[in-house]
Amino acid sequence: MPFGRCPEGEQADISLANTTIELIIGCMFSGKTTELIRRIEALAPSTGIATLKPAIDDRYSPTHIVTHNRQTAAAQTVQNARAILDLVGDAEVVAIDEIHFFDDAIVEVCQELAQRGMRVICTGLDLDMWGDVFPHVEKLRRIAETTVLTAECKACGRPANRTHRTVPLLDNNLVGGPEEFEPRCEQCFAPPAAPKPAGATGLAQPPD
């Protein structure tokens, strides 16, 4: 399916049974990774935890998940969603940061982990910089216990749920930080003038 709004009726193939998936969503700078780290730190020290992030997200650290305020937790990078299944071992808790960067298989991967009895905690953007949903995040949202976070709109101060690009989009490197993006409310948000690159389903696609 091309990028864009997730059509209705796609949830038919998603099993609702045996899932213990927690999803933390919101725009950039809404504190998603901070909340993920908070949930990890609340676990008993003896808890087996696998913390994972997509290989494409190397903005700050290749071996840690890092919030924009530089909080960190050790993390393994993975090339694609299916690789997660080989890395988690017998972890009791699997924390996955930035799931919007993964491919569509992340939905089944999270379900399989939950069916193994693992507690799965994911973070991700729900909307890309064009204001379109990430289809796989939307699918996960339908089966997960979802927490929706907001930031403060940089333009007007109201609650923000959009990620607004502040500089022109000149190439296909869609990953960025505070130099390229800021939180905006729906009224102050505008998508980039440039069309979404062909094949992109969101901010970027990880290598498969």
Chain residues binding Zn ion by CB under 5 A are 153, 155-156, 158, 185, 188
- Burial class of 139 by CB neighbour count within 10 A (0 to 12, 13 to 18, 19+): buried
Q: Between 68 and 154, whose beta carbon lies closer to Zn ion?
A: 154
Query: Angle CA(127)–CA(79)–CA(36) in degrees, nearest 5?
Result: 50
Residue type, position 173, single letter:
N
Please tell me what DSSP assigns to residue 155: T
Minimum gap (Å) between residue 34 Cβ and Zn ion: 22
Q: Between 43 and 155, whose beta carbon lies closer to Zn ion?
A: 155
Q: Between 48 and 157, whose beta carbon lies closer to Zn ion?
A: 157
Residue 112 among the catalytic residues = no
Minimum gap (Å) between residue 178 Cβ and Zn ion: 17
**How far, in Å, are 7, 94, 102, 195 from residue 86 at the CA level?**
31, 12, 16, 37
Residue tagged active-site, from 98, 138, 180, 182 = 98
Catalytic positions: 98
